[in-house]
Structure 1
Amino acid sequence: MKTLTAARAARLASTAATGPDRGVLARRAWRLLLAAGDAGDREAIDAVWHQWLREPRQDAFDALRRWRPGFVREVCSLAVSPTVGPASRARMAAICVEQGIAPDDAAERVVFHLLTGQFEKVHDSDPALLAEGYQTADPALRAMLRDALAADGDFDLPGFSARTTSPTTRPDSSPATSPRPATGTACGGSPRNCRCARRSRPCAGSTTGAPTTRRGGRCSRGWPAATLT
């Protein structure tokens, strides 16, 4: 099969975005893109990805999940990235909840659940993971996490901050090059004490945050290259 040019792939993606059930041209454009994407055509895959960012559709989601190995991680990243506009971030978060997707890393996942308002999952997680996620976050993400935690008066923010910033040493008493995960929780002992974890409505700042990239053997939050507005 002949590969598509970037311009043609973009035109087909725009035409197909009207939906597979909304006209002959849209259905034909989508069939062409599917065939090209399944054949590994990067222009087709990129065109569907960029169109999906503007207009998410289930059929495109399913195709992109097959075509892009890091697709789930990218979507989770966009759902909590501060470089993404609030409306788009909330839309990505809703897609993550609907599709039941989340980051693979345990600490990253609990941070993701907190920042996307999935408080019952935070409640069911290991209490140490939130502190670990906070420790490994960059300053911008730490501020977002504090905003999310501060939305409920039951959170012991001063105690949480003290536990996650206190100096630690390695078992051989040599200075640690990076802090160890704290064992405290944002709720002063157990997430079960937190109203935020029991209620269904998201707290303020619940769709801000970021995924992680590896640095120095630990996770450091960073943002995907794709940016929404």
Structure 2
Amino acid sequence: MAAGFEHILNWRLLAGSHPFPGPDGGTCINEAAIVAAGLPYRTIRSSADCPPCFSTPLAAYALGLNDAMPDDERPRLMAFVLRLSGSADRAEIEERRTRFLALESIRRILPPLLDRAGFADLAARCDEASDLDEGVSAARAAAWRGGAAAQQASQRSDWTRGALASSVARSAAAAVKAAKDARCAAEVAEGAALFTEGIWGSAVTILEDALAIGRQAPDIDLLQARERLDAARAGAA
């Protein structure tokens, strides 16, 4: 991902729902990808709203990250604006992408959070999971232990420990759900980022690796994409 990529496209990514682009040019990543590809603009509230040429799990994960990332981290996603349109593939490839996002969130995102919480054995299980079944089993165990630790901390009025344990429970439970819903994989990162450093970088790398699975989006000329985004902003001003 080239440094300063977001400045070349001259666009700002925003979280959540918002009017189509304001004077500063703001949309979520999937809306920006639609405009940059030359497709008619549409409001995106979930991956189901994306054009059929967008990979559903990739779009869901990207949108989840877009909405969860702090403002200073979200520009990392601009490097993917030109890589979503045209990424849709066969059902078996989309299933493979979903499973990849889930497993890699368990392997890469959960372990540092579990280590921080003092659950080194579960961190090792997640890190060493050889397949999704092993990963989900480890994540379930982490969700249960985190929930139990949060309850114990609450009884002792240990709010700091309780918040960390609750984050473990939330992130691990999201990892279990991610095996069926790719957006939940982004929720794993969202919970872990509260207590561990470098999580957003890991999450973006997972998206990068998932994009390498199956059909690749066709090349979109960078300057042409910027012209389309500039025109959209000018038309909405």
User: TM-score normalised to the size of structure 2?
Assistant: 0.27
Higher relative contact order (CA 8 A, sep 6+): 2
Q: Which has a greater percent of helix? A: 2
Larger Rg: 1
